[in-house]
Structure 1
Amino acid sequence: MSKNSAQTFKDLLLVAISNLKQLLQVVEQEHQLLQSAPETAEELETLTEHKTALLQQVEKDVDQRKAFLEQQGLKADMEGLESFLASLPEANARALRQGWNQLVSLLEKVHQKNNVNGRLINRAMQHFDMLLSAMQATQTKIRVYHPSGGAGDLNIPRNLGKA
Structure 2
Amino acid sequence: MKVNNPTSLQEDFSALLQSEIDESRCLLDILLREHKLLQGASSAPLEQLTAEKQQQMAVLEAAVVKHNRLLLNLDLQPNREGSEQLLQQLPEADSARQLWEEFEQLIETCQKQNDVNGDILSLNQRQVSQAIDILRGVTTGQKTYGPSGESRPDNHSNSFGKA
Query: Distance in 2 between the 1:109 and 1:157 partners?
Result: 45
Change (3 A) 1:117 1:157: closer
Query: Distance in 1 between the 2:82 and 2:117 partners?
Result: 34
Q: Which runs of 5+ in 2 are unaligned?
A: 139-155
Query: Distance in 1 between the 2:39 and 2:63 partners?
Result: 31
The Cα of 1:87 is off from its aligned counterpart by: 1.7
* 1:73 equivalent among 75, 79, 83: 75
Partner residue in 2 for 1:124: 124
Aligned length: 141
1:21 aligns with 2:62: no
1:5 aligns with 2:9: yes
Residue 95 of structure 1 aligns with an amino acid whose one-letter code is S
The Cα of 1:11 is off from its aligned counterpart by: 1.0
Bigger radius of gyration: 1
Deviations 1:105-153 (A, max 9, x none): 1111111111111110000011000011111256xxxxxxxxxxxxxxx
Q: Which runs of 5+ in 1 are unaligned?
A: 139-155
Query: Distance in 2 between the 1:104 and 1:157 partners?
Result: 52
1:138-149 matched pairs, under 5 angstroms: none
Give the TM-score of the pair, scaled to structure 1. Answer: 0.79
Equivalent residues of 2:136, 2:157 under 8 A apart: no
The Cα of 1:161 is off from its aligned counterpart by: 5.0
Partner residue in 2 for 1:110: 110
Equivalent residues of 2:137, 2:157 under 8 A apart: yes
* 1:89 equivalent among 88, 91, 94: 91
Richer in strand (by share): 1
Equivalent residues of 2:137, 2:158 under 8 A apart: yes
Change (3 A) 1:62 1:157: closer
Q: Percent identity?
A: 28
1:29-40 matched pairs, under 5 angstroms: 29-38=33-42
Give the TM-score of the pair, scaled to structure 2. Answer: 0.79
